[in-house]
Amino acid sequence: MISEEQMQSALSADLQAILRCLNCSSRLTTDNAGGYVCPACKRAYPNVNGIARFVDAQHYAASFGFQWHRYQKTQLDHDQVRESDMNFRWKTALRPEELKGKLVLDVGCGMGRFAEVATNWGARVVGIDLSAAAEVAAKNLAARDFVAFQADVFSLPFAPESFDVIYSVGVLHHTPDCEAAVKTLDKYLKPGGILAVWLYSGYNKWYRFSDFWRRYTSRMKPETLHSILKVAVPVLYNTQQILKKVPLVGRPAAGLVHHVFPVNRQKTAEQRTLDTFDWYSPKYQSKHTYEQVFRWYEAMGMEDMHIGEFSIAVRGRKPLRAK
Ligand SMILES: C[S@@+](CC[C@H](N)C(=O)[O-])C[C@H]1O[C@@H](n2cnc3c(N)ncnc32)[C@H](O)[C@@H]1O
């Protein structure tokens, strides 16, 4: 049984027209239970817990499923805090007038913080995520012009040239092949549409020690790693704060602790634990340069390229006519 709220988040007819079978690329029809079925090959995409599933499991992204169920609303904006709005601008270089009234794909939507911003700007947003985070996004944004699917960026259930804008923030470097993931999105963009991606920067060498620890932490069960970090993050953060007050040697010593055991330094304890977990848990985490990403965009034939405020943020436009 799915609830009325869940049924309300079913795609409207025009959105349903862009859904395609992963098997045979035929149009999908609804199964009357909030899921989809292919009339040609009969493959089913059931609705489980309020969203249609286009993957059979979370695969390597289970840590994100855990993370976004544990921290469902921590990063959502509210009256006093506009951080997701600000981050969205910095990491995509998109402007509200470019999204208003547009059909937008959020690739790796997580719990939906950036889709919320995009809907605030007047976009109709389809969010996909490989993990069970898609469930959280669907619940968080139930009252908005938003629909979430559990799906893989490498196998998307959409017709070519469906979206006016596609963005992906902090996601594609967590796939086994970031370049292939970026390039696969071109197919789903309408001519004249915008593709904006934000990836981890390869310029910052402070990452090196965390790369060493991640070899071990990414193999832990998410629950175990989270229990360790709930203790370790406050201890390491507070140690740095205390050390900084010691005259002369204090600051270099705090820097050394941060270098060897990097933990997030955001304002609240909850944000610090969330972002440190996000840093140490993923199986895949690649870093990139502007040179690389510009080459990928050029290979796709993108034009009108811009960078955002926060490295590595690149946006470009698909040409109106193939050259
Ligand atoms: C760091 S989170 C970012 C979530 C969101 N974009 C944000 O910034 O709040 C990365 C997300 O990418 C998703 N992801 C990883 N690999 C993916 C794939 N192959 N297809 C779709 N989503 C993927 C994860 O499940 C996770 O929710």
Amino acid identity of residue 41, one-letter, is C
Same domain for 168 and 307, yes or no, is yes
**Residue 156 placed within a domain:** yes
Distance CA 135, CA 133 (A): 5
* Cβ of residue 153 lying under 6 Å from some atom of ligand 1: yes
Q: Which of 86, 155, 171, when mutated, tests ligand 1's pocket best, judged by the most ligand atoms within 8 Å of its CB?
A: 171
**Residue 16 placed within a domain:** no
The whole domain housing 131 covers: 52-201+291-317
Give me 102's structure tokens: 């547009």
Same domain for 146 and 58, yes or no, is yes
- The pLDDT profile of the chain, 323 residues, written as one tens digit per residue, is 445 444 444 457 778 899 999 999 999 999 989 899 999 999 999 999 999 999 999 999 999 999 999 999 999 998 778 999 999 999 999 999 999 999 999 999 999 999 999 999 999 999 999 999 999 999 999 999 999 999 999 999 999 999 999 999 999 999 999 999 999 999 999 999 999 999 999 998 767 889 999 999 999 999 999 999 999 999 999 999 999 999 999 999 999 999 999 999 999 999 999 999 999 999 999 999 999 999 999 999 999 999 999 999 999 999 997 55
* Cβ of residue 133 lying under 6 Å from some atom of ligand 1: yes
Q: At 139, which CATH number?
A: 3.40.50.150
Same domain for 166 and 296, yes or no, is yes
**Residue 3 placed within a domain:** no
* Cβ of residue 77 lying under 6 Å from some atom of ligand 1: no
Q: What are φ and ψ of residue 173, in 5° steps?
A: -75, -10
**Residue 66 placed within a domain:** yes
Distance CA 196, CA 125 (A): 15
Quick one: 74 exposed, middle or buried, by C-beta within 10 A (0-12, 13-18, 19+)?
middle
| Residues contacting residue 18 through CB under 8 Å, at least 6 positions apart | 158, 159, 162
Same domain for 119 and 261, yes or no, is no
Instruction: Give which of 263, 266, 260 is closest to 280, Cα–Cα.
Output: 263
Q: Which of 63, 153, 174, when mutated, tests ligand 1's pocket best, judged by the most ligand atoms within 8 Å of its CB?
A: 174
pLDDT of residue 11: 56
H or E segment to which residue 24 belongs: none
Cα 306 to ligand 1 centre (Å): 23
Distance CA 233, CA 230 (A): 6
**Residue 35 placed within a domain:** no
Amino acid identity of residue 155, one-letter, is S
pLDDT of residue 2: 47
Instruction: Give which of 221, 261, 218, 292 is closest to 66, Cα–Cα.
Output: 221
DSSP string, 190-231: EEEEEEEEE--BSS-GGGHHHHHHHHHHTTS-HHHHHHHHHH
Give me 146's structure tokens: 């938003």
Q: Which residue's CA is the nearest one to ligand 1's atom 13?
A: 108
**Residue 40 placed within a domain:** no
Cα 127 to ligand 1 centre (Å): 10
Same domain for 117 and 250, yes or no, is no
Closest atom of ligand 1 relative to the 181 alpha carbon: 19
Cα 248 to ligand 1 centre (Å): 42
107 in helix, strand or coil?
Answer: strand
> Are the CB atoms for 19 and 149 separated by under 8 Å?
no
Amino acid identity of residue 98, one-letter, is E
What total of structural domains would you count in the chain? 2
Same domain for 156 and 302, yes or no, is yes
pLDDT of residue 80: 79
139: phi > 0 → left, psi -120 to 50 → alpha, else beta; which?
A: alpha
> Are the CB atoms for 109 and 128 separated by under 8 Å?
yes
CA angle 65, 71, 77 (to 5 degrees): 120
Same domain for 62 and 134, yes or no, is yes
Cα 321 to ligand 1 centre (Å): 31
CB atoms within 10 A of CB 44: 12
**Residue 224 placed within a domain:** yes
